[in-house]
């Protein structure tokens, strides 16, 4: 009982710290170490993995456990995330992402109906999200590129902002840090997690969000007395200079950001099963291919090639201090949570009230959504919780996908509902509008997305 009480109080403190914008990895490391120390003192549970080296002292074992987490996560999941982030930054540096975006926005010029255009613009934003995984970067870039064209057709700037603030909602990215962590928690390969569950559940969700935008933006426009015909030809003026894609990179570079997604399928049981290529090695191969393209493009200019490699390595370092540190800290936090007996208590409560997979999934989604809205970050809400899922799923005898995937996507779908989320603040600032007005415009599409996605996951998991 004492362990559960300490765990609940720690959760309150952690929630308060995240709301106050404190550095999440430090919050999770400190709270996790505290809970582990309490577990030792009150003898509520063990936490040392078999591969860790006992120190001979229970309290010093906490330090050894943290060392083990760094060693274990950096060598596997952490290094993979670092290479993914480095690859994405390298693609931006060489102009490959811009080359794709320049091609993607062309369909806008052939559509004239403003509300159909809202749907198309959202779908184009989702297409761009496949190569630009930063929610802020994605939203700002899409707004800078497509916003003026939408405004010229008379579309309300509030609707334009809402479309692009939700561009990152319900991620369909094949390779990403949260996707890798989710697949691991479900004990599935990345391909199986993505192609059997993530994308099949994501496609109807994306379509539902897009359609919800059409009807919700139209209803709000009519309520505000906005007539698109009366506003045709208007210009969209941003409050600050924004980056526009360069046209310097060759058009063929538009394929490079998708290369990892193609090769991960090619070198798998679905295609060439004789070649076994680790996903991290595959990411490094894609970077090398990109560098070869740069060698040809710049005719062997050493400084150009070296600058690209420097961007790749520096981005890996930034990922270590950001997402990777959060993943490792979340592991320490989750282990402390577990050692105090909190997970067993949650499972017992679920069994006693008759809440099976559906009930637990709704609970996790509700917590993830709430934390995402409060903190404005999908990582702070997702990584600590996903660490706890495998044990809960085993103890309840349910498919871990039914717990992980709804929570995974809820962390992205709920982000546009947070007034402190980077993408909300950035787009509201560019359009010189109140963030809460932007959230209002994004609210119904996001709520529809949460519901449709949850239903889709359980339909797939049956």
Task: Decide: 339 and 58 in contact? Cβ < 8 Å.
Answer: no
| Cα–Cα distance measured from residue 290 to residue 73, given in angstroms and rounded to the nearest whole number | 27
DSSP string, 259-293: HHHHHHHHTSTTS-TT----HHHHHHHHHHHHHHH
Q: In the prediction, which pLDDT does 247 show?
A: 63
- Cα distances from 430 to residues 2, 71, 143, 190, 231, in angstroms, run 50, 42, 9, 37, 20
| Cα–Cα distance measured from residue 409 to residue 357, given in angstroms and rounded to the nearest whole number | 17
| Cα–Cα distance measured from residue 287 to residue 248, given in angstroms and rounded to the nearest whole number | 20
Q: Is the CA virtual torsion 210, 214, 219, 221 positive or negative? A: positive
| Cα–Cα distance measured from residue 176 to residue 185, given in angstroms and rounded to the nearest whole number | 14
From the number of C-beta atoms within 10 Å of its C-beta (0-12, 13-18, 19+), residue 92 rates as buried
Q: In the prediction, which pLDDT does 8 show?
A: 82
Q: In the prediction, which pLDDT does 273 show?
A: 76
Contacts with 179 (C-beta within 8 Å, 6 or more apart), sequence order? 171, 173, 190, 193, 194, 198, 408
In tens digits, the chain (462 residues) has pLDDT values of 787 888 888 878 887 887 677 787 888 899 889 999 998 888 887 778 877 888 888 899 999 999 988 888 787 778 877 887 888 888 888 988 778 777 766 776 677 788 888 999 899 888 888 777 777 778 877 887 788 778 888 889 999 999 999 998 888 877 677 888 888 888 888 888 888 899 999 999 999 999 999 999 999 999 999 888 888 777 776 655 555 666 678 888 888 888 887 887 788 776 887 887 877 888 899 999 999 999 999 998 999 999 999 999 998 888 888 778 877 887 788 788 778 877 667 666 665 655 566 777 888 888 888 778 876 766 766 777 777 777 777 777 778 888 889 988 998 999 899 887 878 888 888 888 888 899 999 999 999 999 999 899 888 766
Quick one: DSSP state of residue 174? Answer: S
From the number of C-beta atoms within 10 Å of its C-beta (0-12, 13-18, 19+), residue 319 rates as buried
Contacts with 173 (C-beta within 8 Å, 6 or more apart), sequence order? 129, 130, 133, 179
- Cα distances from 122 to residues 73, 150, 168, 426, 445, in angstroms, run 36, 11, 10, 18, 11
């Amino acid at each position: 009982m004492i362990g559960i009480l300490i765990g609940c109080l720690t959760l309150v403190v952690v929630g308060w710290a995240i709301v106050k914008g404190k550095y999440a990895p430090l919050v999770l490391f400190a709270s996790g170490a505290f809970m582990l120390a309490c577990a030792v003192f009150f003898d509520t549970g063990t936490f040392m993995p078999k591969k860790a080296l006992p120190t001979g002292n229970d309290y010093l074992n906490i330090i050894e456990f943290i060392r083990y987490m760094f060693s274990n996560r950096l060598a596997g999941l952490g290094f993979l995330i670092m290479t993914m982030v480095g690859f994405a930054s390298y693609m931006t540096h060489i102009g490959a992402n811009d080359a794709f975006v320049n091609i993607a926005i062309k369909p806008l010029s052939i559509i004239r109906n403003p509300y159909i255009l809202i749907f198309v613009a959202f779908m184009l934003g989702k297409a761009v999200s496949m190569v630009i995984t930063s929610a802020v970067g994605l939203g700002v870039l899409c707004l800078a590129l497509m916003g003026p064209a939408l405004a010229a057709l008379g579309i309300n700037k509030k609707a334009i902002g809402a479309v692009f603030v939700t561009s990152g909602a319900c991620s369909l990215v094949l390779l990403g840090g949260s996707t890798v962590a989710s697949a691991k928690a479900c004990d599935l390969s990345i391909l199986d997690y993505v192609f059997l569950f993530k994308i099949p559940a994501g496609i109807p969700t994306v379509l539902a969000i897009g359609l919800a935008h059409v009807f919700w933006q139209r209803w709000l426009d009519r309520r505000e007395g906005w007539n698109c015909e009366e506003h045709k030809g208007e210009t969209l003026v941003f409050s600050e200079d924004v980056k526009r894609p360069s046209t310097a990179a060759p058009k063929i570079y538009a394929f490079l950001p998708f290369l990892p997604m193609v090769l991960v399928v090619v070198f798998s049981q679905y295609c060439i099963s004789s070649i076994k290529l680790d996903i991290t090695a595959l990411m490094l191969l894609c970077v090398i291919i990109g560098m070869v393209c740069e060698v040809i493009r710049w005719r062997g200019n050493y400084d150009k090639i070296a600058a690209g490699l420097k961007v790749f390595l520096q981005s890996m370092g930034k990922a270590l201090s950001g997402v990777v540190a959060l993943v490792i800290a979340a592991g320490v936090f989750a282990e402390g949570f577990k050692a105090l007996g909190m997970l067993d208590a949650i499972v017992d409560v679920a069994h006693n009230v008759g809440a099976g997979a559906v009930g637990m999934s709704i609970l996790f989604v509700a917590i993830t959504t709430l934390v995402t809205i409060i903190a404005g970050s999908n990582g702070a809400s997702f990584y600590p919780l996903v660490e706890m899922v495998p044990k809960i799923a085993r103890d309840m005898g349910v498919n871990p996908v039914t717990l992980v995937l709804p929570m995974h996507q809820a962390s992205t779908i709920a982000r546009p509902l947070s007034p402190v989320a980077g993408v909300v603040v950035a787009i509201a600032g560019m359009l010189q509008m109140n963030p809460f007005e932007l959230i209002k415009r994004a609210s119904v599409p996001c709520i529809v997305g949460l519901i449709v996605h949850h239903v889709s996951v359980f339909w797939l998991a049956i």
